[in-house]
């Protein structure tokens, strides 16, 4: 699997995680636009969902989002979140699987 | 124009009390509070508008004089808190002595590697409470609005103390929730005011017999990270004494999104029940000077 396929796979996993673990029953993973903002006018997630998302990312990918600046960057969209996780894994010596 | 005059009068008031403190010490400044607050209570309608929503519920059926006396007691106790703050800043040797009832319970949770959400309120001397928690064995963060942050910094600057906690601004991205989550995941402590609703997710619960909106961020943080919620209030118990007490300690679990709101409501009820018990014991240490039930 090349890097772009791995990224596509990661985005799919993230969308499934958002829909299933945040219990967004009215949404399907495929409905989420890769570039849509996750919060407010995008998917409509709120600050309480952010708490759960931070915990889920730590649990599933062992990546910690530590502060507002990182959060802003990571939660801009599914694309941004996938890129953030991939960068964090790479900088800690891990590879996307 | 009026605002400018108000600010100048306020500055004169502060200068007056600092002079009293300098010349006559803490006791002298306490004595000067009597005529100042007495005339304020008799001459200002505004303060009654701000305090009556609380007094009507805490002491229903009070007459005109009784409610004036109760209003005086609240403003007077708040004045003492402000004097203490200034006194700590002016005199190097000044110190408040406090007891922390239930500290071992908080340490026990922290020793298990779990984070703690310290839930407090605008009652008693909450700054003293924050100063005392520097004894905890992990880093302590405080989620604050911009103005509270300025007040807290000012308080510790006055006392030449290093601020015992790290401030997370609640007016930042997603209300500071990302930083709070990260701190709790590391097994650290986050203090949050559970009584002030400034928009966003909330629940409505009965407090002193009437419904009030309260924020749920603290409960959501605890549920997601597995942190314990510790309800902690401070009370001024004497001229230089105060008590910090753990009023409740609990964990929140919620299965799915539908259960979440109900679970948050149950947690908020526990918090409110602690606050009601606190106000039974310290009815005049309530410092929310606005119609709390309309927040």
For residue range A23-43, list pLDDT tens digits in order: 887 889 999 999 999 987 778
**pLDDT, tens digit, 9 for 90 and up, residues B63-92:** 989 999 999 999 999 999 988 888 887 777
Most confident of B80-94, B174-188, B190-204, B275-289: B275-289
% pLDDT > 70, chain B:
91
Residue B152 has pLDDT above 60, yes or no: no
Report the residue of chain A nearest B185, measured CA to CA: A55
Residue B231 φ then ψ, to 5°? -90, 120
**Does A48 sit within 8 Å of B201, measured CB to CB?**
yes
Which residues lie closer than 8 Å to B153 by C-beta, 6 or more apart? B163, B167
d(CA B182, CA A54): 8
Residue A53 φ then ψ, to 5°? -65, -40
Residues in chain B: 295
CA distance B146 to chain A (A): 16
Instruction: Give the Cα-Cα-Cα angle B166, B168, B173 (nearest 5 degrees).
Output: 155
CA distance A77 to chain B (A): 15
Q: What 3-state DSSP class applies to B100? A: strand
**Does B177 sit within 8 Å of A51, measured CB to CB?**
yes
DSSP H or E segment with residue B259: helix B257-281
% pLDDT > 90, chain B:
55
**DSSP code, position B161:** P
CA distance A96 to chain B (A): 23
- B217-242: string of b/e by CB count within 10 Å (b at 16+)? bbbbbbbbbebbbbbbbbbbeeeeeb
pLDDT of residue B2: 66
């Amino acid at each position: 699997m090349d890097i772009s396929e791995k990224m596509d796979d990661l985005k799919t996993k993230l969308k499934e995680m958002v829909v299933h673990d945040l219990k967004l029953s009215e949404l399907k993973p495929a409905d989420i636009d890769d570039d849509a903002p996750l919060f407010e006018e995008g998917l409509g997630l709120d600050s309480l969902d952010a708490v759960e998302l931070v915990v889920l990312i730590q649990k599933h990918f062992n990546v910690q989002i530590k502060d507002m600046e990182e959060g802003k960057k990571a939660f801009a969209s599914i694309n941004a979140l996938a890129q953030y996780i991939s960068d964090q894994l790479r900088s800690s010596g891990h590879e996307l699987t | 124009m009026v605002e400018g005059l108000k600010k100048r009068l306020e500055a004169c008031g502060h200068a007056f009390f600092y002079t009293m403190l300098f010349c006559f010490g803490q006791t002298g400044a306490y004595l000067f509070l009597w005529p100042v607050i007495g005339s304020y209570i008799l001459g200002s309608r505004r303060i009654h508008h701000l305090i009556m929503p609380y007094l009507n519920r805490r002491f229903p059926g009070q007459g005109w004089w009784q409610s004036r006396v109760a209003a005086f007691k609240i403003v007077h106790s708040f004045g003492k808190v402000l004097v203490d703050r200034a006194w700590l800043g002016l005199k190097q040797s000044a110190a408040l002595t406090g007891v922390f009832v239930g500290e071992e319970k908080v340490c026990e949770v922290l020793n298990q590697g779990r984070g703690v959400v310290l839930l407090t309120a605008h009652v008693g001397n909450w700054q003293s409470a924050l100063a005392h928690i520097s004894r905890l064995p992990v880093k302590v963060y405080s989620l604050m609005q911009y103005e509270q942050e300025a007040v807290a910094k000012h308080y510790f600057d006055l006392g030449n103390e290093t601020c015992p906690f790290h401030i997370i601004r609640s007016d930042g991205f997603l209300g500071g929730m990302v930083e709070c989550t990260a701190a709790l995941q590391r097994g650290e402590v986050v203090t949050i005011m559970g009584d002030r609703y400034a928009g966003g997710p909330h629940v409505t619960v009965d407090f002193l017999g009437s419904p009030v909106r309260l924020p749920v961020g603290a409960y959501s943080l605890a549920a997601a990270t597995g942190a314990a919620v510790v309800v902690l209030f401070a009370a001024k118990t004497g001229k230089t004494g105060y008590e910090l007490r753990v009023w409740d300690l609990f964990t929140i679990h919620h299965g799915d999104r539908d259960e979440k709101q109900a679970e948050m409501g149950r947690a908020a009820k526990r918090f409110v029940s602690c606050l009601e018990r606190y106000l039974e014991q310290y009815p005049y240490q309530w410092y929310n000077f606005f119609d709390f039930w309309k927040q």
